[in-house]
Structures are given as C-alpha cells and as structure tokens.
Amino acid sequence: MIALGKQSRQPLRSRLDVELTVVGDGALRGDLERLLAESPELTARVRMVHDASDDDVIEMHGQHDVVVLPSVSRAEAFGLSMAEAMANGLPAISTQLGTGTDWVNIHDETGLTVPAGDSQALGVAIDQMRDADLRCRLAEGAITRARSVFAFDRHADLVHDNYERALGARPSNVDRLSRPSTTRFPRTVEAS
C-alpha cells in the first residue's frame, strides 16, 4: 500500500508538496531504498514502513488523504490493503489490471483508476485528488462500498445461507441479504 500524506518516481518528483508513505515489504524494497538514497528530494518526502502492525496501519489511514495501489502485476489479485483503507475513509488510486482490484476500486465512485505502468496517468490522478470535494465524494463512495460489500458479517451471513441452501434448508435470514451490513469492516477506525 502506498498512501499519500495530507495534502513512482516521476509523479512524486514533480509534486513537491506530496508526501508518500510506502507500507509493506517485497522484492522491490532494495531498489526503492537505492533510488531514495540517490535522490535527496525524494528521501525527504518518502517514509517507508516495513513492519506495521494492524493498529499502525489504521493510524496511518487517519494521517493520509488517499491510498494508492500502483501495481503493474496481475499477481495483485484483489487489493485487500486498498479495501481496508477504503473502509477507513480513504479514496483510492489503483491501476487497471483486469483482476479483482478493478472490482474493488470503481473509477469515479470509490477512487480513480489508471492504466498499469502509466506514470503520467498516475501523476494526473494524484493531481486530481488535490481537489477536496472530489476526495470527499470518492471517500464517501469508498466507505459505502467497503463496508457494504467487503464487511466480515456480510460474508459470514452469505456463507451461512449458502450452507443452509446446500443442505436443503431455507435460509432463516433471507431478508438480511437485501440490507446493508451494520458491522464495521475489520481493522477500521470509528468515525469522529
């Protein structure tokens, strides 16, 4: 997960007021650390967090304006970190991979999507997120989608009802399937 602080390389380099937090670890960590070591202007605006606890991640959600999932690999099948950030009120910027990430982040409803590998389009999306009204509208959509589609209790109810159907029993909670979940998404903070 990459989160842009309150208010790759080229998109950030030309945006001097953007701060970036890179959360997680992976095969490209060394490459990113070398890039930062060679670029003092980036080093001052990029924070790398490798061992964040769930509570740390929730706290970081509250300190950022948007979450960015700029994956270029179809191995990014879903984008759980993006869904969690959306549940905590962050609009998303993600790349169009033809995977579940395209289903999680709906362009112009919960965030913005850009072609994978297109750093210019990523930069434009970051610039668009400077608009507070746009961010607020997308954040509302992100919260609604994450909490109604990805909430744990919603999935537990659906699994339970599918088992009842498979066993030939009528689900006892058919009406519940048509109403939104009331339980918060796992790892969310309470709105103030």
In the chain, what are the domain boundaries?
2-149
Mean local confidence (pLDDT), 44-50:
90
State the Cα–Cα distance between residues 150 and 60, nearest whole angstrom: 20
Question: Looking at the predicted structure, is the pLDDT value of residue 182 above 60?
Answer: no
Question: Looking at the predicted structure, is the pLDDT value of residue 93 above 90?
Answer: yes
One of 3.40.50.2000, 3.40.50.1820, 3.40.50.620, 3.30.70.20 is the CATH number of 2-149, namely: 3.40.50.2000
Question: Looking at the predicted structure, is the pLDDT value of residue 83 above 90?
Answer: yes
Q: Which of 152, 64, 144, 60 is nearest to 106 (CA)?
A: 144
Least confident of 49-53, 102-106, 156-160: 156-160
Q: Are the beta carbons of 61 and 189 closer than 8 angstroms?
A: yes
* Average pLDDT of every residue of the chain: 82
Helix axes 54-62, 80-87, angle to 10 degrees: 50
Question: Looking at the predicted structure, is the pLDDT value of residue 183 above 90?
Answer: no
State the Cα–Cα distance between residues 87 and 151, nearest whole angstrom: 9
Q: Work out the pLDDT band at 68, boundaries 50, 70, 90.
A: very high
Half-sphere exposure of 35 (CA within 13 A, CB side): 15
